[in-house]
Amino acid sequence: MTMHHTGGRRKPPTIHDVAREAGVSRGTVSRVLNGGHYVSPAAQEAVNAAIRRTGYVVNRHARSLITGRSDSIGFLLTEPQERFFEDPNFNVLLRGCTQALAAHDVPLLLMLAGTQDERRRITRYITAGHVDGVLLVSSHSGDPVAEELREAGVPLVACGKPIGLGSKVSYVAADDRDGARDMVKHLLSLGRRRIGMVTGPLDTPGGVERLAGYREVLAEAGIEADDRLVVPGDYSRASGDAGAERLLERVPDLDAVFVASDLMAQGVLSALHRAGRRVPEDVAVGGFDDSPAAVASTPALTTIRQPWDRISAEMVRVLLAQIGGDDPAAVILPTELVRREST
Amino acid sequence: MTMHHTGGRRKPPTIHDVAREAGVSRGTVSRVLNGGHYVSPAAQEAVNAAIRRTGYVVNRHARSLITGRSDSIGFLLTEPQERFFEDPNFNVLLRGCTQALAAHDVPLLLMLAGTQDERRRITRYITAGHVDGVLLVSSHSGDPVAEELREAGVPLVACGKPIGLGSKVSYVAADDRDGARDMVKHLLSLGRRRIGMVTGPLDTPGGVERLAGYREVLAEAGIEADDRLVVPGDYSRASGDAGAERLLERVPDLDAVFVASDLMAQGVLSALHRAGRRVPEDVAVGGFDDSPAAVASTPALTTIRQPWDRISAEMVRVLLAQIGGDDPAAVILPTELVRREST
DNA sequence: CTGAAAGCGCTTACAG
DNA sequence: CTGAAAGCGCTTACAG
């Protein structure tokens, strides 16, 4: 079947070969390639047959050179990468985006920009037109990259609301506040009244919104706000562990904890275990994310499911629309309470 | 600083602009861009200054069109993706490769090929020259993709030894057999004698090698082989759980289990817990990978650390060398026993 | 509907 | 060391 020898990378057929094979001009081949408008059925067919016979695949570099589009999308991760990679949600997101993009036959370039230097280099690369648009995932969303890209006119959609950019930048996010509300209402419905919270980083929209939801529901239930019940976390397991310790010190009789991520909730579980508290008998624990960590924990975590598959699909949809000329748009997706053993 | 208006993506400067600005020909600019050979220091400097002033960034499409190289690398994931994405090692690997590549200023294209169809499409894409080389991660390594790519002469390095391809294909792997040996020796040194094993998939080199290491050490210790002590797993948590159940049925007095992955070991821990066995008092459990799951487990897992950061770095190094003309090479990296609470 | 031709931005022998 | 010129593989008005 293959005529070339091992290691020899033969020259792929060009549009010229296809044209010769089909007995038409290169222009006609190109027209078939680009939607088949203004092409007779006969020519259409001849070209398609020739493409099949020659195994022709378009040279994207040549095409991009003239169209000025790269036909590829960047998946840009800024700020502390470790945190993201540790986070199982990240996987689902990355996989979802890659798949959604593959369905449109557009390759995804993975770009990591953890340091100031890398950020500068990648911004340059992007604004030079090497990708048609960017899916942006950054934690601390005061991120200057978003603003720079927006200003350079690069189509962009962020995962989560970029702080400070309002709706000038497209984004897709789960309804963090509503999710938090659901969880705290659930805890209240169980009869818990001294409900602590380990928050996410408060310079992120997710962190802020989940805390806001928690406070709202307690206020609505007529429970007085108590600052000792709120401790900050950074989405890491360790911060959950430390947070629970502090909570226990300050409010020994607390009967529930709402934790802003499942990973932190694992830490909370450990701390509670060390302190001899039973979950959920003594202390109910609610997480956020419905990540694999939620099922892996003992006891399995009651949590808030973020619709990651939908988030990734929407990010891709909005980005492609924007590349096609649409204006920026924000998409907020509902969450869902998943009850397990920890409450 | 920026003169363009929001949303307007202005045309980036070309080599022509730089040439005019520097007062030289385009050829000279190109020579500076490509290493500065045969260029006078004066011209060199003038060009560099012009590049800085204009903010010029090379158009890779134009360059690739003529060089025939894409200056990008594909990270190809074949077979069941879910499993990989569930696997924390995958993250470390992907991140490591992206970073190592970024250091060489070459972008990484993430390619998922879970279905037959996708595999065909992506193979075509790759052999058409859209990437200069491929980092291949596939679980069941009877994978036809590896053979196809090799035959097409695409530079390729696999993660783990591709079954059946011998050393015709480059690969980088941890020393699975030696790691397994270390773990089983450790278990023996603790006085355990009825040591069960939950294997990985036996159509993967890792699965085969870890089992081989287990058997070797038991044989060397003069312990008679007992097939009831070996149950198959597929690296999923669920298969670990099920495997431990079967082990317990068949050999109720077993005193240790060597599990071929940390994720499966989590499942084993659950099953043991349900069965009322204490770990490590009644049954010692050893994992493999030193993934985050190892620390997240209760008790924390004694395990075998795979040097993922080195693996990714080596994969990139070998691939770039091969693209540069080197012959394929295999790299085997040592593992390390990490003692925690489960043994 | 279709062909001939120009041109995208770059690199690379080829003369000097 | 340097410029002029050809050409990489494609798309896109432009005439027919």
Task: Tell me the C-alpha distance between A290 and A312, whole Å.
Answer: 16
Scanning every residue of chain A, which has its alpha carbon at the shortest distance from the alpha carbon of B125? Answer: A57
Spatial CB neighbours of B317, under 8 Å, sequence gap ≥ 6: B100
B61 beta carbon to strand D: under 7 Å: no
Taking an 8 Å cut-off on Cβ atoms, the answer to whether B124 and A273 are in contact is: no
Q: Touching check for A65 and chain B: CB below 8 Å? A: yes
Task: Tell me the C-alpha distance between A302 and A187, whole Å.
Answer: 10
The B residues from 172 to 201 touching A (CB cutoff 8 Å) are none
Angle at B184 between CA B334 and CA B158, to 5 degrees: 35
- Report the topology of domain A176-305: Rossmann fold (3.40.50)
> Which pLDDT does position B262 carry in this prediction?
93
Taking an 8 Å cut-off on Cβ atoms, the answer to whether A108 and B108 are in contact is: no
- Which residues on chain A are in Cβ contact (under 8 Å) with B15? none
Q: Protein A40 CA to nucleic acid C2 C1', in Å?
A: 9
Task: Tell me the C-alpha distance between B21 and A312, whole Å.
Answer: 44
Tally of CB atoms within 10 A around B245: 18
The whole-angstrom distance between B224's CA and the closest CA on chain A is 35
Taking an 8 Å cut-off on Cβ atoms, the answer to whether A130 and B152 are in contact is: no
- Indicate the domain borders of chain B: 15-58, 73-174+309-334, 176-305
- pLDDT tens-place string over residues B200-224: 999 888 899 999 999 999 999 999 9
Taking an 8 Å cut-off on Cβ atoms, the answer to whether B127 and A8 are in contact is: no
Percent helix / strand / coil, chain A, rounded to 5: 50, 15, 35
Rounded to a whole number of angstroms, the distance between the first and last alpha carbons of chain A is 62
Q: Which helix (H) or strand (E) holds B331?
A: strand B330-333
Which residue's alpha carbon is at the shortest distance from the C1' of C5?
Answer: A27
Task: Tell me the C-alpha distance between A256 and A272, whole Å.
Answer: 11
> Which pLDDT does position B4 carry in this prediction?
35
Please report where in the chains the tokens 């990468």 appear, as a residue: A81
Q: Touching check for B57 and chain A: CB below 8 Å? A: yes
Average pLDDT of A76-84? 73
Contact present, A132 and A73 (Cβ < 8 Å): yes
- Which residues on chain A are in Cβ contact (under 8 Å) with B150? 6
Spatial CB neighbours of B107, under 8 Å, sequence gap ≥ 6: A109, A110, A111, A125, A130, B71, B72, B73, B101
**H helices present in A80-151, as ranges:** 81-86, 88-103, 116-125, 144-151
Contact present, A142 and A202 (Cβ < 8 Å): no
- Which residues on chain A are in Cβ contact (under 8 Å) with B108? 109-110
User: Homologous superfamily of A15-58 in CATH?
Assistant: lambda repressor-like DNA-binding domains (1.10.260.40)
Task: Tell me the C-alpha distance between A286 and B298, whole Å.
Answer: 19
Taking an 8 Å cut-off on Cβ atoms, the answer to whether B118 and A102 are in contact is: yes
Task: Tell me the C-alpha distance between A320 and B310, whole Å.
Answer: 37
The A residues from 9 to 38 touching B (CB cutoff 8 Å) are 9-10, 12
β B108-113/A108-113 pair status: antiparallel
Q: Do B15-58 and B176-305 come out as alike in CATH topology?
A: no
Q: How does DSSP classify residue B275?
A: T
Would you state the CATH architecture of domain B73-174+309-334?
A: 3-Layer(aba) Sandwich (3.40)
> Which pLDDT does position A2 carry in this prediction?
31
Which residue's alpha carbon is at the shortest distance from the C1' of D3?
Answer: B25
Subset of residues 160-199 in chain B with CB less than 7 angstroms from any atom in strand D: none
| pLDDT over 70 percentage in chain A | 93
Subset of residues 125-164 in chain B with CB less than 7 angstroms from any atom in strand C: none
- pLDDT tens-place string over residues B275-325: 999 999 999 999 999 987 898 788 999 999 999 989 999 999 999 999 988
Chain D: nucleotides below 7 Å from protein CB are: 1-5, 7-13
Task: Tell me the C-alpha distance between A251 and A249, whole Å.
Answer: 6
> Which pLDDT does position A82 carry in this prediction?
66
A246 beta carbon to strand D: under 7 Å: no
Q: Which two tokens stand for residue A212?
A: 């806001």
β A256-259/B108-113 pair status: unpaired
Task: Tell me the C-alpha distance between A116 and B32, whole Å.
Answer: 27
- pLDDT tens-place string over residues B95-120: 899 989 988 888 899 898 888 888 88
A31 beta carbon to strand D: under 7 Å: yes
Chain C: nucleotides below 7 Å from protein CB are: 1-5, 7-13
> Which pLDDT does position B3 carry in this prediction?
35
Spans of chain B below 70 pLDDT: 1-10, 79-88, 139-142
Furthest C-alpha separation in chain A: 85
Contact present, B342 and B273 (Cβ < 8 Å): no
Average pLDDT of A163-188? 91
A69 beta carbon to strand C: under 7 Å: no
CATH 3.40.50.2300 holds for A73-174+309-335: yes
Average pLDDT of A268-290? 96
